[in-house]
A = this chain, B = another copy of it.
Amino acid sequence: MKSAIRVTAVALLLSAAGCLESEPLGVPVRGRMHDGDELVQFSLLSALAAGDYAGGAPLQQLLQFGDFGVGTFDRLDGEMIVLDGDIFQVKADGTVVPRDGAGATPFATVTFFEADGQLDGIAASSLTELDHQLDRRVPNAKRPVAFKVTGEFAELTLRSAPPQKPPYRPLAEVIDQQQVWTRQNVRGTLIGVRCPAWMGTLNVAGYHWHFLSDDRTIGGHVLDCRVEGARGAYDECSSLLVRLPDSKSFDAADVSSVSDADVEKIERQRGKEDAH
């Protein structure tokens, strides 16, 4: 972990040539650069599930690893949407707040979205049906894939969660505090990540969907949706980068305790609906 003190001729050259960003993540090593086709996740789902909600990676850093993705915020304060390089926070009361680089994320998954293919005529009467349709149309089950689906949604079931206070309880317990609401006839975008089964409990195996309306007033973690005539695009990733938190709480977290049943509950359970 001493990369910060590695200073090479390449670094000096890059620095002198103005090639480095004003706030580089680290001193460059042998001039090798990220190729942008990575799915990048901050921390492990199993650590979040164990209650490691505090702090995490600076949001400013997150944007250096992707312009598209999903996640949550410090203390589990709402759902994160990263779209076109902008970060939005959906609070438990449904409010959508644009975020700048201040703040941190204990868990997020991003990539630089570069479409590998287009998807037209998407119609699904449920989120499960959408998942199955995308499984058929983008069959590669070995690589992480990012999905963007835009259209007029006849119905959406969304959720978010309120911020937690220490001592933090496991996610499968606090998820009962989630707020769930439905909205009809909303134009917007589904932001999705499909993780291959081999990723196990590093992330959410299968699909993970968040939503943001075109007018940036409605969003959240998607539990269900109904849509016709939507259009989409997908980006297959060739690598997975897992960035581990540099914190005592992460080192102490019991990341072995999360079960598939917990993940199902955390990510897909449809809670008690309340129309607000």
Contacts and interface: CB of A to CB of B under 8 A. Distances in A.
Interface of A: 1-3, 6, 10, 13-14, 17-21, 24-38, 44, 46, 64-65, 112, 114-116, 140, 142-143, 197-198, 200-202, 235-244, 246, 250-251, 253, 255-256
Dominant secondary structure at the A interface = loop
Nearest to A42: B239
Copies of this chain in the oligomer: 2
Contact of A6 (B13, B36, B202, B255): B36
Q: Which of A198, A200, A202, A235 has the largest count of B CB atoms less than 10 A from its CB?
A: A198
A91 to B, nearest CB: 29
Given A2-B37, A3-B37, A10-B19, 15 more contacts: A1-B116, A1-B235, A14-B14, A24-B33, A25-B33, A28-B34, A29-B33, A30-B36, A32-B34, A142-B255, A143-B244, A200-B200, A238-B246, A240-B244, A241-B242
Contacts of A115: 2
A38 B34 CA distance: 12
A21 B14 CA distance: 12
B33 A33 contact: yes
A-B pairs, top 10 by smallest CB distance, nearest first, are A26-B35, A29-B36, A17-B17, A28-B33, A3-B37, A240-B242, A3-B36, A3-B35, A19-B19, A2-B114
Contacts of A244: 142-143, 238-240
Contacts of A20: 31
Contact of A36 (B13, B26, B202): B26
Contacts of A202: 198
Contacts of A112: 3, 6, 29-30
A8 to B, nearest CB: 9
A142 B29 contact: no
A18 to B, nearest CB: 8
A243 to B, nearest CB: 5
A29 B34 contact: yes
A87 B255 CA distance: 35
B31 A114 contact: no
Contact of A25 (B21, B32, B198, B243): B32
B250 A243 contact: no
A256 B27 contact: no
A150 to B, nearest CB: 19
